[in-house]
Structures are given as structure tokens and as C-alpha cells.
Homo-oligomer: A and B are copies of this chain.
Amino acid sequence: MPPSALIDEFRAIVGEGGVLTGDDVTGRYPGYFMQRVEADILVRPETTEQVSQIMALCNAAGQPVVIQGGMSGWVRATQTRQGEVILSLERMNRIESIDPANRTAIVQAGVILERFQDDLEPYGLSFPLDLGGRGSCQLGGNAATNAGGMRVIRYGMMREQVLGMEVVLADGRVLSSMNRMIKNNTGYDLKQLFIGSEGTLGVITRLVLRLRERPVSSNTALVCCDSFDRIAKLLRHMDGALGGLLSAFELVDNSFYRTNTGEGRHPAPLGSDKPYYAMIEALGSDHERDRDLFESVLADAAEKGLFDDAIVARSEKDRDAIWGIREDLEHIVHDFQPFYAFDVSLPVGDMEAYMGEVTRRLKSIWPEGGIAFLGHVGDGNLHIAIGAGTTEDREQVESCVYEPLRPFGGSVSAEHGIGLEKKPWLSITRNPLERGLMRDIKQMFDPKGILNPGKIFAEEAS
């Protein structure tokens, strides 16, 4: 049945304003690295019950459904094809409750991350997940992709923040697992399957999230260093000597630093002649005490020769200047054309060898190509920006990045997920039995294959 036959039924469920069609859909923002929205029906439910009815209808009709959140993903996991129906959670955007004593909140999936962070402030609480897309990404999407970001080293990924979940299954059944406790060992932890499943196993509609005490002090430094080995030692030193306060340890390489501190761009707080720069952040509870600790721990590190130069932020302006160098991707996208972006992980001790090998492969093909490494080194997570070749060279560029992961047991996706972008490379990180079991799970939860079809899994014979 053509999806248009379902429109009236969708309208009966969600009302006139809940269904968009035609240009109102295809004209929407398609998301990173996507040309255009191909699907031309979009349904915007307001309640779990409506989601349930929509899914029951689509399942009965064998109608493919692509779930969309804030559209800030990088791997085309929300890309649509003609004939698919988009299910957008944008109208399910209510923070239902905040429980300060239990330090939990119940939210609908469409709540935007930054709004949630802001709303917690009056309670002295925080939601520690933080990433560049905070202004548009939705908490449901954060769960569906197991989002990471800057503070994983201290607080973990989205997986560690989700205590409970409500999911509408492919056939419309509502799985309610709205656990509010940190500890609940009562059989298989079903919610774990949906976290990171990129919309292929169910529609996450509500979440119980764990909250943390809001830090009051923040200390930030930028250091530079001519050896990766010393950067790795500095990470361990800072993590150990700061007790539990270290909240970010971000690396950028010389290429990235130079790009962002070039003329007319960000001021360079440190000279631009070193191969590695690290942004270090500690969040604590006492301004004066934490500043003293931070500086004394840095001074120890200097004495041990763990970096070459450093600057400590003295004001919010300083801090923003340091983070601005790390977070601004505009210049790198401008200079590196065609722009290719990657997100891999591997053990810290293997990173230097890996970066060397990727660079060697790339430069052997495109000697003038640009390459920059940055990332969450404390989590083993490297982002790689490449400007080389033409837009036709994607596969060859990808090969330069992904093939060298094999000897290190690295991952083709640290935090961005697989989507469509990395589907051809999944086998580098997941072996045949793992992929086979994933397909079995998909088959169990979505036997008709209507949820985000074609994502994550290559259409391979099993």
C-alpha cells in the first residue's frame, strides 16, 4: 500500500496539525551530510498512546518508519527514502517531573538537551551529558545513539545516565521500564538494547534520567607538548592527582590548532609550534580550594616534565577562549575541502602509531591533503578531519582511516554510531557472530523490518 493511503489514518490519530506532507516535509533540514529529505509524510505524535497507534498501523501495513529527533547526528542514521514515513518526536517535549531528593527526572524523548540542562539549574542539579549539538539534539536521540561528548571521562556516556525507559515497539506494544533506581537487578536489562540502536529496534518515547549535583567551580587549562607519550602520562597524572574532579581532557593536534588560531580567527593562547595541545577541565565544589588544587597539580606535572607550556584560564572569557579553539569546527570545514569527518576509538597507548599510519596512507595518495586529529583522549576517542581528493574519493579516504584500526582492535565509531555512513565498515569492529546476533535481535524486535530499514546492518546474507 502506498504510504499516502495511511495519511487519513495518521490524521485520525494525531489530528490535522500532526501530519505534514509534501514540501512541508521535503523542505525540512535534511541533517548533516544529507542532500534532501526524500520521504514526504511526517507524523508528529504528542503522546505515547499516539506513537503506539501509529506503529501498530505501520506494522500492519508493512510501512517503513524513520524516527527523527534533533537531526544533529553525523552518520545519516535519520536519512529517508521515498515511500518511508518520518516519525518526529518534536512535539513530545515535556519535562514531566524532577525529583531533587532522588536526583532523577522523567522526560519525554523530544526534550532538547540544552533546555533540560538549563531547567535543572534552580534545583542545584545538572545533567552531565554535554556535546556540541546541545542546542538542537533531543534526549531521545541521545539515548538512541548513546551520545558521548566532552565529559564522558567523569560521568560516562548517555548509557550511564539512563535509569528507565519507555519504548514503543515496532508492532505498537508499549514497553514500560521506567525504573527510577540506580540499582535494579531483576533479569535482563532490556533498556540497554535500545540505547545505541539508532532507531532500529523501537521508538524511545520517555526516559528516567539520573541527575548529578551541580558543580560550582570550574578550572580550565590549555597545555602543549611535543610528545604524545607525555600527553598520555599527563592524563593519568591529572586524573589521579585531581581526585574525582577531572571532567574533560581533550586533545587537538597542531594542524587543528593552527587552523583555528590562524589570522582573523581565534587568538592563540600558546605558540603554535607544538604537535599536541590539550584542554583540561576540572569541575568541583569550592572556587578557591579547587583553583589551588588545580594549579598545584599542574605545577607538579610541569616539574615532572609532562608538558612544555601551559596557560590557566583566569576568567570565564579565558575559559571560553580555550574551549572555543576546541569546539569551533567552522574553519576546519572551510579549509578542508572536500570535508571528511571521522570518529574512531582505540586504546590510548596505540593512538600515536595509529595517527602516524593514517597520515602516512593519506599523504601517500594526496601529499597536499589536510588532516587534523582531535578528540576525547581520555576515552580513547579520536575525531579526524580530512580535506583531500574529491567528493568521489570517499571510499579511499575512509579506507585510510578505518583499515589501520584493525591491528589495534579499534572501533570505526566511538560515539557517532553507524547509520548509513559506516555500514560498509562495521565488519572491522564487529565480527560475524556479533553481526549475526545483532540481526537475530533485530528480527526478534522488528520481524517485518519496518524500523529505520537499511541502517547499521549491511544488507548481507546471514
Chain A residues close to B by CB (< 8 Å) = 99-104, 124, 145-146, 148, 152-154, 156-157, 159-160, 173-190, 192-193, 195-197, 201, 213-217, 232, 236, 239-245, 283-286, 289-290, 293, 345-349, 376, 378-381, 409-418, 422, 426, 429-431, 433-435, 437-438, 440-441, 444, 456-457
Contacts and interface: CB of A to CB of B under 8 A. Distances in A.
Nearest to A102: B347
B181 A411 contact: yes
B245 A145 contact: no
Contacts of A197: 188
A247 to B, nearest CB: 8
Contact of A241 (B157, B184, B285, B410): B285
Given A183-B381, A188-B193, A217-B243, 5 more contacts: A181-B347, A185-B411, A192-B193, A241-B286, A243-B245
Contact of A438 (B188, B415, B430): B188
A409 B180 contact: yes
Contacts of A174: 433
A379 B381 CA distance: 29
Contact of A99 (B286, B349, B379): B349
A347 B182 CA distance: 9
Nearest to A456: B187
Given A176-B431, A290-B243, A293-B289, A183 B124 contact: no
Nearest to A426: B186
17 contacts: A101-B348, A102-B347, A102-B349, A173-B433, A175-B434, A175-B437, A179-B409, A181-B414, A183-B345, A183-B379, A188-B193, A188-B441, A190-B434, A190-B438, A243-B283, A244-B245, A440-B444
A183 B154 contact: no
A426 to B, nearest CB: 6
B243 A181 contact: no
A431 B174 CA distance: 11
Contact of A435 (B148, B187, B192, B241): B187
B101 A349 contact: yes
A146 B422 CA distance: 32
A380 B412 CA distance: 37
